[in-house]
Amino acid sequence: MVRMAPRLARSLLGAAVSVLLFACTPDEPGTVVRDDDKVRYVVHGDAKVSEAAIDRVVAQIAELSALFGVEPKKVEYHFFESRERLDDGNTCNVETPAEGVVTGCAIIAKSTVLSTLPVHTHELVHLVSHQRFGALPSGLGEGIAVVLSSDSQLPLDLNPVRELRPFQAEDWLDPRRSLAKTDSPPSAYAEAAQNTRFVLDLLGWDGLLEFAEDVSALKSADGIPDLIEKHFERTLEELEADFAAWPRYPSEAHHWVLESAWVEMEPEEERTITSSEVQLVRFEHSVTERTVFTLGGGGFFDIVSADGGRMHPARIPQLSLDVPTHVAFEGPSGIYFLMIPKGSGVVRVSLDRVALDTPLSTFPLIVVAPGESSSPLCVEAETAVENRTSTMAVDVETFATGRPTTFDVCRGDDCTTFDAWVDDRPYPITFEPPACMIPGAEYPSIFDNAGLLLTAAPASGRFLTYQLRDGQ
């Protein structure tokens, strides 16, 4: 018997808050593990760091310097084993905000990063961007750092509000405003990154640099309307209208990923990924095949197009931590990233490719596909199939789903249509294998979430995820 059971996923979002300092030093000296003309790398406590991680810091300094058009400077990097050790003596000179946690800071005057991460791209961005611009308003400075940081914990693609928030350029660029001191730093950082990404889409990288040059000269918010007119040839009101029409999907999901921030994998290759050092595995994919990953260790994963856009609304939990989880991915041809979140520990990853009509029989297995153009999923006897993380409430008003309103179940040319939603709720489907499942093309607009009626967010229908197990 094959059973497709609805699952609800609840996503808890947080943010790592960055702090920009102009003078300060850690109280304890630590242990110097490398000191050359590019980096002085110091570890504190029992922190362990690989040579590859230090090489990645050096590579990111070089890549960021080229992006910002400055000469690479030697950086002093302090890696702390824990937030508690970083907080000892208030090393980063801040009070931990009510929302989010401080994971690191950049000390501009000393070209120094203090962090609980062995490679902290966000803080390196602050050091290098300051070489180019000097002090930027917090909104733009943090926005640039988030957009360039693949280690960011801010899932920008998860803001599918029905009525988009305003751009609010005068608040965003106000040099007197600090994002870390707002009522909700995670929201402030996400909005700053959205605004920055919007400007990047309109002006390109060189245009963003020119814009930031002028923004760095602001002494108050009074000059912002003229600055907007100069760079966009728009009034504040006209730019607000452009922002309201800006396609959030998939544009806002796209970080400008540094080449030094990922590793690349080819078919039949295996790698061991340390998630505190690198979170992205880059791979090529063909629409005529499924890319199959085997993941050993960790707890969650994500798949993101290199051109922008998630394949589903939340990070996907692995099915078992006791045995490897297999992931079969299909979608348009292109370059993608398998994302392994920070905190996943050491994860063993292998990659292969199989034809779309190849029977799927290695379990447990998760199938990830675009909701609008998924291939039939064929199963054999003694296989259990569920729709996994298919529907989730995004906020108190909206939901996202990859579960269509119907599925066709076919044996050869004999097909039966099953309702996958009844009374505005996901409805379980059962059928006897062997058979192939074909998702329908329509998605629900209303979700009855325990009596609370939610409307579909713009992400609905962009993802479809199944899990396969041995059994009935």
**If you average pLDDT over residues 23-48, what whole number do you get?**
87
Per-residue pLDDT tens over the stretch 215-241? 999 999 999 999 999 999 999 999 999
* Res. 13 pLDDT band, cuts 50 70 90: very low
* Res. 372 pLDDT band, cuts 50 70 90: low
Lowest pLDDT segment from 121-130, 337-346, 406-415:
337-346
274 backbone dihedrals φ, ψ, rounded to 5°: -95, 110
Structure tokens at 383: 């296989």
CB 192 within 8 Å of CB 172: yes
d(CA 341, CA 151): 8
pLDDT of residue 20: 60
Whether pLDDT at 362 is above 60: yes
Closest to 190 in 3D by CA, of 255, 259, 245, 269? 255
More confident position, 446 or 277: 446
d(CA 371, CA 462): 5
3-state SS, residue 351 = strand
**If you average pLDDT over residues 116-145, what whole number do you get?**
95
Q: How many CA atoms lie within 13 A of 231 on its CB side?
A: 23
CB 167 within 8 Å of CB 132: no
In this structure, are strands 31-35 and 39-44 parallel, antiparallel, or unpaired?
Answer: antiparallel
Residue range(s) of every CATH 1.10.390 domain in the chain: 16-251
pLDDT of residue 108: 94
Domain 16-251 belongs in CATH node 3.30.70: no
Closest to 258 in 3D by CA, of 205, 207, 215, 195? 205
pLDDT of residue 7: 30
Chain mean pLDDT for the chain:
82
DSSP 175: T
pLDDT of residue 322: 80
Per-residue pLDDT tens over the stretch 68-108? 999 999 999 999 998 888 887 667 865 555 445 678 899 99
Per-residue pLDDT tens over the stretch 185-222? 877 888 888 899 889 889 999 999 999 999 999 999 99
Q: What's the predicted TM-score (pTM) here?
A: 0.82
Which residues make beta-bridge pairs with 346?
A: 274
CA dist 47 to 83, 178, 213, 380, 459, Å? 12, 31, 38, 48, 40
pLDDT of residue 278: 86
More confident position, 172 or 146: 172
pLDDT of residue 311: 56
**If you average pLDDT over residues 24-30, what whole number do you get?**
70
* Res. 272 pLDDT band, cuts 50 70 90: very high
pLDDT of residue 305: 77
Amino acid in the structure at residue 413: D
pLDDT of residue 159: 44
Closest to 21 in 3D by CA, of 104, 86, 100, 88? 104
What are the DSSP E strand ranges found in 116-267? 262-264
**If you average pLDDT over residues 400-413, what whole number do you get?**
86
Between the CA atoms of 135, 136, 141 and 144, what dihedral angle is there, to the nearest 10 degrees? -110
More confident position, 346 or 383: 346
